[in-house]
Amino acid sequence: VTMLQPDPPEEEADEDGAESLPLSAVFPRDTELFSDTFPELKRFRFCGRVLRIAQHHGPRLGMAAAVWDGEQRMDFSGRTVIELGAGTGIVGILAAMLGGDVTLTDLPLALEQLRTNTELNAAAVAASRGRVRVQALPWGRALGSIPHSYDVVLGADVVYDPRCFPALLDTLLQLCGPRSVAFLSCGMRPQLGTAGFFWELLPVHFCVRLLRHHKDSDVGLYRVTRPPSRPAVMVDDGG
C-alpha cells in the first residue's frame, strides 16, 4: 500500500507565455471579508492522471474546500464506489479515472463545487470508462435512493468533529455490506478524540486495520471491513 503526494500544481499560462496568478494572490482568504465563495482552479497529478480541481474558498464551505494529500494506489475498474464528505471530489474523481463507478456525496452546500469538478474532468473520466454522479448525503439519515452496499467506500479527512461521529458511524453501517471495503484517511487530532473513533467506536462493528501512518503529518490511512463471524479487531500495521 502506498500513500502518494501529488505533483506540484501546474499553473495555467496566458497566451504570451506568462503564468496567470491564482485568485488567492488577488483575493485574501479572510472569511470576514467575503460572505460567499470564490473559485481557484488548480491541476493535480496522481497515478499518471491529471485532475482539474476548482476549490471554492469562503466561510460557508469550511472543511469541504480543502484538498487532502492522501491517496492509495489501487484498481477501481468495475467497482461501485462512494465518497463521503467529498468536498472538492478529488479522491472520488481519481477513482473514476481509474475505472470506478463513483458517487460523490456531501452536504447540499458543497454539491455545486462537486458538479463543477465533475464537469472539468468529464472527458478524462469517460476515456477511462469510469462514471461519476453527485448526490447529497447528510450522515446519520436514511440513504433514500442511494444503494445500501458499495464495493468501496472512501473518506478523506472526514473524522474531525466528535459531534458527527455517531452519524458517520451510522452511515458507514448502512453503506458497508459483507464484501465492502472502506478506506478512511485522516489527520489525528488528539484534542478532538479522532483516534477514539478508529480505536473504540469503529471496532465495535468493523474490523479496522491501520495501513499507513505518516508520522510527520500524523495522518493515518485505515482499511475498514465488516467482520465475518467474529468480534471486530484493531490491527496496527502502520509502524
What is the pLDDT, as a whole number, of residue 41? 72
Give the pLDDT of residue 229.
65
Each of the 239 residues of the chain gets a pLDDT tens digit; together they read: 333 344 444 444 343 433 333 333 332 333 333 334 556 777 777 667 777 777 765 544 444 444 444 444 577 899 999 999 998 898 899 899 999 999 999 999 889 989 999 999 999 999 999 999 999 999 999 888 888 889 999 998 898 888 999 999 999 999 999 999 999 988 877 777 888 899 999 999 999 999 888 888 788 889 999 998 655 555 566 55
Round to whole Å and give the CA distance between 45 and 72.
13
Sign, Cα dihedral of 5, 157, 192, 30: positive
pTM of the model: 0.72
Please name each of the domains of the chain with its CATH number: 67-236 (3.40.50.150)
How far is residue 138 from each of residues 64, 81, 105, 106, measured CA to CA in Å?
A: 13, 17, 8, 7
Which residues lie across from 223 on neighbouring strands?
Answer: 183, 209
Closest to 106 measured CA to CA, from 60, 158, 40, 59: 158
CA distance linking residue 11 with residue 77, whole number of Å: 30
Per-residue pLDDT at 232: 55
Assess contact for 188 and 212: CB atoms under 8 A. no
For 201, which DSSP code?
I
Cα–Cα distance between 163 and 221 in angstroms, integer? Answer: 22
Query: What is the reported pLDDT for 177?
Result: 93
C-alpha cell at 3: 500513500
CA–CA separation, 71 and 86 (whole Å): 13
> How many CB atoms lie under 10 A from the CB of residue 86?
30
Residue 134: predicted pLDDT: 97
* Helices 111-120, 90-97: inter-axial angle, 10-degree rounding: 30
H helix count then E strand count, the chain:
5, 10
CB 97 within 8 A of CB 69: no
CB atoms within 10 A of CB 78: 10
